[in-house]
Structure 1
Amino acid sequence: MTFRAVAMFALATTVLAGTSACLGFDAGGEQSTPFTASQAPPSPTGTPAKDDFVAALRRVHAASYRFAVDSPLPEGGTVKAAGAFDPVGKLFEATTTITGAGQSQDGTHHRIVIAKDSYQREETGKRWIHLDLSRIAEDNPLLYFDTADPTGLAKFTANVKSVERTSDTTYTGTVDPYVKGPGFLPIGAPSIVTLGMGRTPFKATADAQGNILTITIELSPTDKPKISMTTTLSEHGKPLTTKPPKQSLVDEADEMYYK
């Protein structure tokens, strides 16, 4: 029996119809189980490097931070994203650009989430569509948004398998890229699903204070080029100033999305 390691682009785009506008947006924050640092499984004893690395990741996820990601896609093209997340203030903002993935996927999409209020628009559009996330069922794979872990950082943390410290500020290790439900790769713009990949290598850097600065994960699909995904983390703990769009520029999503 031959096993193949497969990586697939799975960033869905959905057109939301509002009262007077339509919007294509990325739905990378699909359903997953909400995660908190206290819920993460403990790392095995006798692995201080892993303990230190996981603890550092949990500190990042427990406070606000900015992220930027640049990643190729399995079938060609790239996904780039930049934004910020504040788990305490329940704030999220991101601009995601997909190129070379096909006409239905390509484009730049903006998203702002404040608690349960989500606003999306395309780069080419001037109006935002408001979606009440409290009315979206968790089993809706296209519209459900994971407010607890929109970047996938918590899922990555929970799936880290081994870590070695290569210097005071660098790490290498392995992570299981497969999770039940939506994936977490690349961190910052979850859009790649893996099958049969096994443990995947990663490397990370930190500053002198132990804040994680970069995470690079490398996938090796069968019969396809390697996929190297790099996410940069910055402004750890700095308050966000995320605000909703002007009400005059917002249309409500059609009621059909709540059925």
Structure 2
Amino acid sequence: MRRRTLLISGMAGIALIGGGCSAPEEPPPTGSKFRSPSPLPSMDDSVRQELIAALQRTQTVPYQYTVKSDLTRGDWLEGSGAVDIAARRYRSTINSSGGPLPEVLERINIGTDSYARRGGDKKWVRLDMSRVSAKSFAYFDMADPIGLVKFISTVALAERTGPHGYSGWFNPNGIDDPFLPVGAPSLYGFGLRGTPFQVTTDEHGWVTSLTLTLTDPEDSGKLTMTTTFSGHGKPLKIAAPARSATLEADDFWYA
């Protein structure tokens, strides 16, 4: 398997669970070589606080999302999902171009029950997250399923670009877990400094899109990561798979 600067952590763990026949592999070395395109400018902190409040508001209600992201070496991923933090329910389908990720990965979380399967598989594999170490790369954090909370904590500067727009810079150094792209957390951000982002909101103040632009360390190109949000506050129907379509994860995931 070829190595890249990305650590596909949580999603790689699911892929191995779905395999059901081999012990977990050690993840690749952490850290990335992404570099800052330019120094941080000086901006009004009140705008940053305003943006953070808008992002945090999204976490308080059910919502749906899509994600589309460039990865290194020309790889990419895209997908969609739905989140209800208060009800502790989540579902997603992520499609990737290759590398260490399966082509299609589906996940459903109901409380501490995590179900995952590769595209084409008929059976889901259930993992009890209350028994999985938070340090395991198979662990799934239902408090921050798409990496939005971690992104919010990295917002360093922001300015308004219009009545429904913001631009700014985020600094993910110090975040120990992968959270990029938002919507399919798979990339550690060590070494990123002053990386730009853009946010749009609707007429009600709900965040509708988040776009990050990173510099690819391998070919000096740009990696664009875009997450869209919709259906804010609308009820979601997220149910566990039928018991007849579910297998239990191997015991080694609880070691």
TM-score of the superposed pair, with normalisation by structure 2: 0.83
* Partner residue, 1:32: none
RMSD of the TM alignment (CA)? 2.0
Aligned residues: 227
The answer to whether the Cα contact below 8 Å between 1:73 and 1:192 also exists between their aligned partners in 2 is no
Q: Which runs of 4+ in 1 moved over 6 A?
A: none
Task: State which of 111, 118, 129 in structure 1 corresponds to 2:114.
Answer: 118
* Partner residue, 2:35: none
C-alpha displacement at 1:128, in angstroms?
A: 0.6
SS in structure 2 at match of 1:190: coil
- Deviation readout 1:131-159 (Å, 9 max, x if unpaired): 1110001121x211111001011111111
Quick one: distance in 1 between partners of 2:192 and 2:57? 28
The answer to whether the Cα contact below 8 Å between 1:177 and 1:185 also exists between their aligned partners in 2 is no
Task: State which of 50, 53, 56 in structure 1 corresponds to 2:54.
Answer: 56
- Residue identity in the other structure for 2:130: S
C-alpha displacement at 1:224, in angstroms?
A: 2.5
C-alpha displacement at 1:81, in angstroms?
A: 1.8
The answer to whether the Cα contact below 8 Å between 1:108 and 1:123 also exists between their aligned partners in 2 is yes
C-alpha displacement at 1:17, in angstroms?
A: 6.2
* Partner residue, 1:137: 133
The percentage of aligned residue pairs carrying the same residue is 35
Quick one: distance in 2 between partners of 1:179 and 1:82? 28
Unaligned 5+ residue runs, structure 1?
1-6, 24-44
The answer on 1:247 being equivalent to 2:243 is yes
SS in structure 2 at match of 1:215: strand
The answer on 1:158 being equivalent to 2:153 is yes
Q: Does the C-alpha gap of structure 1 residues 62 and 128 become closer, same or farther in structure 2, counting only changes over 3 Å?
A: same
C-alpha displacement at 1:168, in angstroms?
A: 0.6
Task: State which of 170, 175, 181 in structure 1 corresponds to 2:170.
Answer: 175
Q: Does the C-alpha gap of structure 1 residues 108 and 249 become closer, same or farther in structure 2, counting only changes over 3 Å?
A: same
Task: State which of 184, 189, 196 in structure 1 corresponds to 2:184.
Answer: 189
* Partner residue, 1:146: 141
Quick one: distance in 1 between partners of 2:192 and 2:114? 33
* Partner residue, 2:74: 76
SS in structure 2 at match of 1:89: coil
The answer to whether the Cα contact below 8 Å between 2:58 and 2:232 also exists between their aligned partners in 1 is yes
SS in structure 2 at match of 1:186: coil
* Partner residue, 1:107: 103
C-alpha displacement at 1:65, in angstroms?
A: 1.1
Larger mean Cα displacement after TM superposition, 180-189 or 218-227: 218-227
The answer to whether the Cα contact below 8 Å between 2:176 and 2:188 also exists between their aligned partners in 1 is no
- Residue identity in the other structure for 1:225: G
The answer on 1:9 being equivalent to 2:10 is no
C-alpha displacement at 1:22, in angstroms?
A: 6.2
Unaligned 5+ residue runs, structure 2?
23-42
Q: Does the C-alpha gap of structure 1 residues 258 and 172 become closer, same or farther in structure 2, counting only changes over 3 Å?
A: same
The answer to whether the Cα contact below 8 Å between 2:44 and 2:158 also exists between their aligned partners in 1 is no
Q: Does the C-alpha gap of structure 1 residues 198 and 256 become closer, same or farther in structure 2, counting only changes over 3 Å?
A: same
The answer on 1:198 being equivalent to 2:193 is yes
Q: Does the C-alpha gap of structure 1 residues 22 and 235 become closer, same or farther in structure 2, counting only changes over 3 Å?
A: farther
* Partner residue, 2:29: none
C-alpha displacement at 1:193, in angstroms?
A: 2.1
Which of the pair is proportionally richer in helix?
2
Alignment of 1:17-96 (within 5 A): 47-96=45-94
TM-score of the superposed pair, with normalisation by structure 1: 0.82
